[in-house]
């Protein structure tokens, strides 16, 4: 009679371990963007004028995730609503240097 509760506890422990393992893997997979997102390393200053065009700076970034991060970071740091050449011409902007 003592063998039945021992087997039940053993089966319950194995099932619990499997469920916890699946939940941990799911949590890591659903938050993988936090581990692999590009991060800002430092900022540099650039003056937007006839030599430096904001659109050429943005188009020089090849990865779409980095490009989105770059645009949002420039808007946030410089308190801008848009990044058109007319709105930033003649201004000195802080430009993030982004790495993976």
* φ, ψ of residue 83 in degrees (nearest 5): -115, 40
Report pLDDT digits (tens) over 13-46: 999 999 999 999 999 888 877 777 667 778 889 8
pLDDT confidence band for 1 (50 / 70 / 90): low
Q: For position 100, what pLDDT does the model report?
A: 61
**What is the pLDDT of the chain when averaged over all its residues?**
85
Radius of gyration of the chain (CA): 25
Give pTM, 2 decimals: 0.59
pLDDT of 91 strictly over 90: no
């Amino acid at each position: 009679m003592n063998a039945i509760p021992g087997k039940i506890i053993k089966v319950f422990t194995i099932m619990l371990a499997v469920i916890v393992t699946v939940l941990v893997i799911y949590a890591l997979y659903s938050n993988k963007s936090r581990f692999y997102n590009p991060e800002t390393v430092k900022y540099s200053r650039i003056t937007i004028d006839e030599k430096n065009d904001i659109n050429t700076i943005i188009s020089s970034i090849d990865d779409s995730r980095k490009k989105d991060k770059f645009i949002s970071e420039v808007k946030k740091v410089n308190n801008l609503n848009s990044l058109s050449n007319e709105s930033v011409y003649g201004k000195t902007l802080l430009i993030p240097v982004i790495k993976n």
